[in-house]
Structure 1
Amino acid sequence: MKLGVKCLLTFALSVLISACIKQKNDALLLATFTENDVEVSIRLEANTDGNHFLLATFIPPNGHHLYSKDIPLTGVEGLGRPTLLELSANSQMRSLGGLLECVPSEIPDFEPMELLVYPAGIVTLSLPVQLPPGNEWVDETVKVTYMSCSGNGCKAPVVGKLIPIRVPGAGMSIMGDENE
């Protein structure tokens, strides 16, 4: 029993680490934008096993934190908004698992205690995906949600912002030539 739990924990840790490490040779920048002083970049990465991950990196202003992916969409008691990366309803990509976070959320030192936060700084979320079928580039849309706060106040939330991206079909390399 202990060996099974240890193997499961080792696997979970390896997935978390792979979600946090940039694989420059197999990364494709899909979109960048800044809204409410938070810089966001969306990338597609492939690991050595050929699995694909859609990643969103959120860079809030110095001293600002973001809220956990696990809080409700409307926050806790109306406070905060989750940090999310989601496929749109009509996406040709398919999610192959839950959203992973690069840093664990923490219980805040203020009320409500259920309003989980990430430590101040950069947060990267990773979503394992299956690419659309085919050998062509596909226009897609992803949604991002976030809200950054500091001890001096909060920025307005960004909820369900639609971001247009272009992804390769499953039959292509993610580093393939977009003009093919």
Structure 2
Amino acid sequence: MRIGLSRRTRTAVALLTLAALTACGEQSAGSAAAAPPPTTSFTENGVTVTLSVSDWHASKGTLTAVFTPEEKGFHLYSTDLPLTGIEGVGRPTAMDVSGVLTADGKLTAAADVRTITVPGVDAPVPVYPDGPVTTTLPVRADGNGEATVILGYASCSTEQGCTIPVADRPVRLRLTDDGPSFAAAP
């Protein structure tokens, strides 16, 4: 006596197996696409800085830094502020790169610049509105290896004064064939 599956049952099993394999493939592809961009953060002198690298393709991407003052009522200075400020007041919000990573464009900020007057300073001082400021820098890699993101900023409040400026704050980044990754925080 021969026991076998009907043609309809065999077809149903084959379709279910194919559906299961396809779902596994879609889940794997979806998992890879959903991987978050490399990110790191630190807090220094009243500001939390969150760095990430996004849109990494063919050794190019975008480096994003979000500068968030810890206290309400604090602002950051414009990226266009001179290095020594206006009459010595303020320090620019800055991001640059070195090592195997180079800038592939200009640093931009996703906030409108406004000016404030500071007692004892004749010229207006360009600042961003109080709160977080997001900056972006297009970058490209000249091969695999070590890179450094170099940050600078200062935060101030018209009522509470300023925090100590941060200049040339390094954050280490490693570039491999798999893409960029931040070094573990010390």
TM-score by length of 1: 0.71
| 1:98–1:128 contact (8 Å) kept in structure 2 | yes
Summarize the alignment of residues 40-55 of structure 1 with structure 2, pairs less than 5 Å apart. Answer: 40-46=49-55, 51-55=60-64
Q: Which amino acid aligns with 1:108?
A: I
Tell me, what secondary structure is at the counterpart of 1:107? strand
The alignment's C-alpha RMSD in Å is 2.4
| Equivalent residue number for residue 7 of structure 1 | none
| Equivalent residue number for residue 154 of structure 2 | 147
Q: What's the CA shift for 1:32?
A: 1.2
> Where do 5+ consecutive residues of structure 2 fail to align?
1-33, 182-186
> Where do 5+ consecutive residues of structure 1 fail to align?
1-23, 176-180
Whole-angstrom CA distance in 2 between matches of 1:51 and 1:132: 9
Q: What's the CA shift for 1:26?
A: 5.6
Does the alignment pair 1:119 with 2:125?
no
Q: Considering only CA atoms, is the larger Rg found in Structure 1 or Structure 2?
A: 2
1:172 and 1:95, CA in 2 relative to 1: closer, same or farther beyond 3 A? same
Summarize the alignment of residues 134-173 of structure 1 with structure 2, pairs less than 5 Å apart. Answer: 134=144, 138-151=145-158, 152-166=160-174, 168-169=175-176, 171-173=177-179
Q: What's the CA shift for 1:173?
A: 4.7
Q: What's the CA shift for 1:40?
A: 0.6
1:174 and 1:140, CA in 2 relative to 1: closer, same or farther beyond 3 A? closer
Q: What's the CA shift for 1:124?
A: 1.1
Tell me, what secondary structure is at the counterpart of 2:38? strand
Residue identity (%)? 34
| 1:46–1:174 contact (8 Å) kept in structure 2 | no
| 1:147–1:157 contact (8 Å) kept in structure 2 | yes
Moved more, 96-105 or 43-52: 43-52
More strand by share: 2
Pairs aligned (count): 144
* More contact order relative to length (CA 8 Å, sep ≥ 6): 1
Q: Which amino acid aligns with 2:93?
A: T
Q: What's the CA shift for 1:112?
A: 4.3
1:37 and 1:67, CA in 2 relative to 1: closer, same or farther beyond 3 A? same
Whole-angstrom CA distance in 1 between matches of 2:180 and 2:36: 7
Whole-angstrom CA distance in 2 between matches of 1:141 and 1:47: 17
